[in-house]
């Protein structure tokens, strides 16, 4: 089973199409909506944890691109700015997925982008603003 967290950006002219439904029916993919900002007649955004066979996943991503939506990995949009991070650990307490954690040997805050759901709680919790999330 292959799984990846992706961001889908919809344009206003296709926001009313059943694109995610097609991923399930035509490509046998499962999804979990991690974040959604979709409004009628306006552009929107979905953050999905998409899973299935690697072949079906790749075919589904190609379908999405053909429909005109922009698709990118979530891990490309959430970063820990090492220059700003003071490793205080404030963000760790707010991270619901364990994507941020303290290394017990070095006492540094580490970030696992694969566990991140893009909830943005770390951004507001971080005093030096070392966590950066840009979903738009």
CATH 3.30.70.20 fits 77-133, yes or no: yes
Report whether 83 contacts 128 (CB < 8 A). no
**pLDDT band (50, 70, 90) for residue 12:** confident
The pLDDT of residue 16:
81
pLDDT in tens, 83-107: 999 999 999 999 999 999 999 999 9
For the chain, give every residue range classified as CATH 3.30.70.20: 77-133
Gyration radius of the chain's alpha carbons: 17
Tell me the two tokens of residue 31: 């999804």
> How far apart (Å, rounded) are the C-alpha atoms in residues 96 and 119?
9
SS3 for 37-96 is ECCCCCCEEEEEEEEECHHHHHHHHHHHHHHCCEEEEHHHCEEECCCCCCCCCHHHHHCC
User: What confidence tier does 124 reach under pLDDT thresholds 50, 70, 90?
Assistant: very high
Q: How confident is the model at residue 22 (pLDDT cuts 50, 70, 90)?
A: very high
Identify the band that residue 64 occupies on the pLDDT scale cut at 50, 70 and 90.
Answer: very high
**Yes or no: is domain 2-74 CATH 3.40.50.720?**
no
Strands 30-37 and 78-80: unpaired
* Tokens standing for residue 115: 């566990």
User: Whole-model pTM?
Assistant: 0.76
What do you get for the CA distance between the two ends of the chain, in Å?
29
Question: 10 vs 101, which has greater pLDDT?
Answer: 101
């Amino acid at each position: 089973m292959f799984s990846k967290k992706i961001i889908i950006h919809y344009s206003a002219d296709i926001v009313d199409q059943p694109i995610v439904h097609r991923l399930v029916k035509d490509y046998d993919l499962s999804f979990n909506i991690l974040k959604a900002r979709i409004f009628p007649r306006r552009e929107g955004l979905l953050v999905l944890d998409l899973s299935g066979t690697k072949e079906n996943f790749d075919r589904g991503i190609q379908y999405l691109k053909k429909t005109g939506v922009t698709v990118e990995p979530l891990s490309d949009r959430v970063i820990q700015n090492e220059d700003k991070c003071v490793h205080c650990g404030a963000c760790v307490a707010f991270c619901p997925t364990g994507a941020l954690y303290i290394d017990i040997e070095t006492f540094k805050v580490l970030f696992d982008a694969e566990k991140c759901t893009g909830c943005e709680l770390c951004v507001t919790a971080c005093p030096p603003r070392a966590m950066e999330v840009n979903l738009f």
